[in-house]
Amino acid sequence: MREIVWDTETTGIFPGDGHRIVEIGALEMVDRVLTGRSFHSYVDPCRPMPKDSQAVHGLSSDFLTGQPVFEMIIDDFLDFVGDSPLVAHNAAFDMEFLNWELKRIKRPVIPHSRAIDTLEISRKLNPGAKHTLDALCNRYGIDLSGRTKHGALVDAELLARVYVELTGGRQIGFDLAEAAVAEEVPVERVTLAMRAHAASPEELERHAVFVAGLKDPLWVQ
């Protein structure tokens, strides 16, 4: 099954307050395995970046000015996504921003029924625990050392690993099979030499002595 794990960075919390998407990152998974295909783009929000938001993701107005506007990247994003389910952490947030932008340019919105929310999955599996992406990475032993600030693509990569853990993890056999395919290792049928099962004369002699010593065996009436 094909799924898209994705994330956004924005200028703020609520699109209704005039906040916009500034980055989109998405990764393709097939049967819970990353394929290596991805989509990533920064987006010029055509508005100033608040300092508190810049502190989260590090994207400044100077950096974003001149990047493609949303209208220029949305077709490539939608082509990449296709009709696949969309996996996100706190999916309502990302879906609200994406659909707000789509409405703004008079394009059809994406139904929320296509979203898979890892936040909801985590809450059901571990009620009362912390459910931030950082907390989930720590819970499942996923390395965060290379992440200094939030970023749509790096967070999507972390979320992909978290999603696999939340949905049962990967079986060792699949890992080995993938390694064999990657290295083009031929799969061969292994045939073991036939083993001799007949008892030796010494074993037959010991067995006869054992049977002779049995008291009132059932087979003697």
AA identity, residue 147: R
Torsion of CA 108, 109, 111, 112, to 10 degrees: 180
| Rounded (5°) CA angle 57-61-63 | 80
Cβ burial, residue 34 (10 Å; 0-12/13-18/19+): middle
**Of 19, 89, 150, 197, which is the active-site residue?**
150
Rg (CA), the chain: 29
**Annotated catalytic, 150?**
yes
CB count, 10 Å around CB of 32? 15
| Active site positions, annotated | 150
